[in-house]
Amino acid sequence: MLDFRDIDISDRNHINRCLAVSDFMGCEYTFANNMAWRRLADSKIAFYKDFYIVCSHTEQNTPYFVMPSGSGDYTELFGELKQYTDSVGVPLTVTGVTEKSLSLFSELFPDSYTIGYDRDSSDYIYLARDLIHLDGKKYHSKRNHLKHFSRYDYEFSVITEKDFDDCIYFCTMDYNGRPHNHSSVAEQYAVNTYFTYFQEMGLTGGVIRIDGKVTAVTIGERLNSDTFCVHIEKADKSFDGIYPAINNMFVTSVCSGYRYVNREEDLGIEGLRRSKLSYYPAFLLDKYVIKFK
């Protein structure tokens, strides 16, 4: 039987080896995200031979699995996962399944499952060069925002350890100014985790200061062989154009060597969806939910 437990910083190398084999593009497939966001859905991890498995839970405490990464016998692996869910009396459910992985299910488990499209979890994938250069008519409004922002006495820099305290304080004040719910508490926990293990996780960040005061913070990391992933982006909206500014300055500083930038999902939040679409993604990384019968 699979032995699920809390993720730990000491798991980083083992997990990263499994992630590198699969080279998935979904935002679920970074060690930092798995560790930082574990409180959102009470996520636990396990290893089965050369596979890495994340088990999360619904609000009703029903377990479900992110499509495992790694290598080996998938029939054997999903047999183990089904044995686990059978033991708690629920169907085997697998999330984060992309088009790339759908063929595996149809080949190995024909007529054994149903498929549901999970639009709210689709990742927004952009060409790095588009976000860096903002060329063409479609990015005219973004360039205008940057022009407006340029009137401020600002400084952008890549985050170093000396910025941690100021960045944490800025994110905490942002958290304190919003209604608190389970999602916001989990987000604040994630932010604190990112800064606690910033170097160990291999993270990169950017910060904007206006008149010496932190007004925007962003954090991301290498996701796979050709994609950088932006995990968080927070800014003081009282400064006109600050979100386009932190976005553009960060990717310009750290993403020139990547083909794609993954800016994660919109969670079905209308305003967030409009914002992400306004940057004209190269494509949406569609995701599906597989539920075994």
Residues of the chain above pLDDT 70, percent:
100
Tell me which residue has tokens 């170097």.
199
CA dist 188 and 185 (Å) reads: 5
Please tell me the predicted confidence (pLDDT) of residue 40.
96
Cβ atoms < 10 Å from Cβ of 124: 24
Please tell me the predicted confidence (pLDDT) of residue 177.
87
Contact 287, 123 (CB under 8 A): yes
Please tell me the predicted confidence (pLDDT) of residue 178.
87
- Give the tens place of pLDDT for each residue, 189-242: 999 999 999 999 999 999 999 999 999 999 999 999 999 999 999 999 999 999
| CA dist list (Å): 277 to 220, 267, 270, 283 | 20, 13, 11, 10
Please tell me the predicted confidence (pLDDT) of residue 119.
98
CA dist 213 and 128 (Å) reads: 28
- Give the tens place of pLDDT for each residue, 40-97: 999 999 999 999 999 999 999 999 999 999 999 999 999 999 999 999 999 999 999 9
- Nearby residues of 83 by Cβ (< 8 Å), 6 or more positions away: 1
**Could you give the residue ranges of the DSSP H alpha helices within 109-241?**
128-133, 140-149, 164-176, 182-196, 198-201
Per-residue confidence band for 1, with pLDDT thresholds at 50, 70 and 90: confident
Considering the entire predicted model, what is its pTM?
Answer: 0.96
CA dist 74 and 80 (Å) reads: 10
Give the HSE-up count for residue 19: Cα atoms under 13 Å, Cβ half-sphere.
22
Please tell me the predicted confidence (pLDDT) of residue 69.
98
CA dist 27 and 285 (Å) reads: 10
Per-residue confidence band for 4, with pLDDT thresholds at 50, 70 and 90: very high
- Give the tens place of pLDDT for each residue, 142-197: 999 999 999 999 999 999 999 999 999 999 999 888 889 999 999 999 999 999 99
**133 phi, psi to nearest 5 deg:** -95, -30
| CA dist list (Å): 262 to 17, 79, 217, 228 | 20, 32, 17, 6
